[in-house]
Chains A and B, each alone.
Chain A
Amino acid sequence: MMNAANFPILSVTTFLPLVGVALICLIPSRHQKAIQWTAFLVTVATFLVSLQLYFRFDTTTWQMQFVEDTSWIPQFAIRYQMGIDGISLLLVLLTTFLSAVSVLSTWTAVTERVKAYMASLLLLETGMIGVFCALDFILFYFFWEVMLIPMYFIIGIWGGPRRIYAAVKFFIYTMSGSVLMLVAILVLYFMHYEATGTYSFHILDYHKLGLPANYQFWMFLAFAVAFAIKVPMFPFHTWLPDAHVEAPTAGSVILAGVLLKMGTYGFLRFCLPIFPQASVLFVPLILILALIGIIYGAMVSLAQDDVKKLVAYSSVSHLGYCMLGMFALNADGIKGSLIQMVNHGLSTGALFLIVGILYERRHTRLISEYGGLMKVMPIFAFLFLMVAFSSMGVPGTNGFVGELLILIGAFQASLKFGLAATVGLILGAVYLLWTVKRVAYGPITKPENQVLKDMTVREYAYMLPVLLFIFWIGIYPKPFLRTMDASVAHLLESMHAPKTAHAFEPRPAWFQNLLAKADFQQLTKGQGR
Chain B
Amino acid sequence: MEQVMSSISLSAIAPELVLIACGLIVLMIQAVVGKRFRESYAYVSLLGVAAAAFLVLTRPGGFEAKIVEYSFCDMWVVDNFSRFFKLIVLIGTGLTLLVSIKYLDNEAMQHSEYYALMLLCTVGMMIMAGAAELITIFLGVELMSISLYALAGYTRTRMLSNEAAIKYFILGSFASGFLIYGIALIYGTTGTSQIPAIAKYLAQAGPGAGVLVMGMALLIIGFAFKTASVPFHMWAPDVYEGAPAPVTGFMSAGPKAAAFAAFVRIFMEALPSLQTDWVMVIWIIAVLTMTAGNVIALVQENIKRMLAYSSIAHAGYVLVAFLAAGELGLTSILYYMLAYTFMNIGAFAVITMLAGRGEARVKVDDYRGVGYKHPVAALAMSLFLFSLAGIPPTGGFMGKFYIFSAAVKQGYIWLAIIGVLNSVVSVYYYLRVTVAMYMQAPEGSEEVPAASALSPALIVAVAISAYGVLSLGLFPSTYVAMVKESFLSLL
Interface residues of A (CB under 8 A from B): 72-76, 113, 138, 141-142, 145-146, 148-149, 152-153, 156-157, 163-164, 167-168, 171-172, 175-176, 179-180, 182-183, 186-187, 189-190, 516-518, 520, 523-529
Contacts and interface: CB of A to CB of B under 8 A. Distances in A.
A186 B408 CA distance: 7
A171 to B, nearest CB: 6
Contact of B412 (A167, A171, A526): A526
A421 to B, nearest CB: 34
A145 B435 contact: no
A523 B283 CA distance: 10
Contact of A182 (B372, B401, B431, B477): B401
Given A156-B439, A179-B424, A72 B408 contact: no
B256 interface: no
B409 A190 contact: yes
B414 A523 contact: yes
Contacts of B445: none
A175 B423 CA distance: 9
B435 A179 contact: no
Given A183-B408, A527-B276, 13 more contacts: A73-B477, A146-B391, A146-B393, A153-B438, A167-B435, A172-B428, A187-B408, A187-B413, A517-B410, A524-B279, A524-B280, A528-B275, A528-B279
Contact of A75 (B386, B420, B481): B481
A141 B391 CA distance: 10
B476 interface: yes
Contacts of A172: 424, 427-428, 431
A175 B427 contact: yes
Contacts of A149: 386, 391
Which interface residue of B276, B413, B434, B480 has the most chain A CB atoms within 10 A? B413
Nearest to B409: A190
A180 B417 contact: yes
Interface string B466-485: 00000000001100110010
B424 A176 contact: yes
B420 A524 contact: no
**Top 7 closest A-B pairs, CB basis?**
A517-B411, A179-B420, A186-B408, A526-B411, A75-B480, A142-B392, A176-B424
Contacts of A176: 421, 424
21 contacts: A141-B392, A142-B393, A148-B391, A152-B431, A153-B434, A156-B434, A167-B439, A175-B427, A180-B420, A180-B421, A182-B420, A183-B413, A186-B404, A186-B408, A186-B409, A190-B408, A517-B411, A524-B279, A524-B283, A525-B412, A528-B279
Given A168-B431, A171-B431, A179-B423, A74 B477 contact: yes
Interface string B222-265: 00000000000000000000000000000000000000000000
B427 A518 contact: no
Contacts of A524: 279-280, 283, 412, 414-415
Contact of B424 (A164, A175, A190, A516): A175
B433 to A, nearest CB: 12
**Interface extent on B, as a size class?**
35 or more
Interface string B324-345: 1110000000000000000000
A76 B404 CA distance: 13
B153 to A, nearest CB: 37
Contacts of B440: 164
Interface string B184-218: 00000000000000000000000000000000000
B413 A518 contact: yes
Which interface residue of A182, A187, A189, A520 has the most chain B CB atoms within 10 A? A182
A516 B412 CA distance: 11
A354 B415 CA distance: 48
Contacts of B283: 524
B338 to A, nearest CB: 15
A528 B329 CA distance: 11
B84 interface: no
Contacts of A518: 411, 413
A176 B280 CA distance: 27
B416 interface: yes
Contacts of A182: 401, 404, 420
Interface string B420-456: 1101100110010011001110000000000000000
B322 interface: no
B413 A520 contact: yes
A164 B368 CA distance: 13
Contacts of A516: 411
B145 interface: no
B397 interface: yes
A299 B480 CA distance: 53
Interface in B277-293: 279-280, 283
Contacts of B428: 168, 172
B294 interface: no
Contacts of B415: 524
A187 B280 CA distance: 22
Nearest to A139: B392
B401 A75 contact: no
B405 interface: yes
A73 B480 contact: yes
Nearest to B386: A149
A145 B391 contact: yes
Nearest to B327: A529
Contacts of B427: 171-172, 175
Contacts of A76: 405, 480
A526 B416 CA distance: 13
